[in-house]
Amino acid sequence: MAAVAALPDDVARVAPDLPLRANLSALDNIALIPLYQRHCSAAESVRLAQAMLERLGYADLAPLRDPDMTPAQRFATKLARALILRRPRLVIDHPGAMLYDVPYPAFIRQLAERAEMTGTWEIFDFGWNQALYRA
């Protein structure tokens, strides 16, 4: 856990301790990033967020709020929020704590293939789970 907390600012994270804003839709949670990080207009931020959800195959999540999502849907929203940052590294911190409703190594691989992201995806997890990530 300490290693994850010490990551540099050029790393995007998906983690249990980075929750979605419960009062906002998935689309709005993602759109906040380009709105505040890149100073895009509200309309452009929403367009970019919708495009990211479509790229991941989760366009139907757009209107859902956090309490209405399954763990996998919540993870996909958090992933879209991290990917829209366009950083060279993505760290997924303890995916099993977030993805207890799906076989998560395969689920993450499937999303990675859809995301077509250049850069590095890293998974920080307990040592005993490392065997799960070997293809």
Nearest-angstrom CA–CA distance, 42 and 29: 12
Mean pLDDT value of segment 20-27? 96
Single-letter residue type at 42: A
Model confidence over 50-99: pLDDT tens digits? 999 999 999 999 999 999 999 999 999 999 999 999 898 999 999 988 99
What pLDDT, on a 0 to 100 scale, did the predictor assign at position 128?
A: 74
Encoded tokens for 11? 């790393």
Domains of the chain: 2-133 (3.40.50.300)
* pLDDT higher than 90, residue 2: no
Whether residue 3 has pLDDT greater than 70: no
Q: C-alpha 118: how far from its chain's center?
A: 15
Please answer whether residues 6 and 84 qualify as being in contact, where contact means their C-beta atoms are separated by less than 8 angstroms.
no
**How many whole angstroms separate alpha carbon 70 and alpha carbon 60?**
13
The predicted structure's pLDDT at residue 53: 95
Cα 112 from Cα 84, distance rounded (Å): 14
pLDDT tens for 85-134 read: 989 899 999 998 899 898 888 888 888 887 666 678 888 887 777 777 66
Evaluate if residue 46 carries a pLDDT over 80: yes
In eight-state DSSP terms, residue 120 is: E
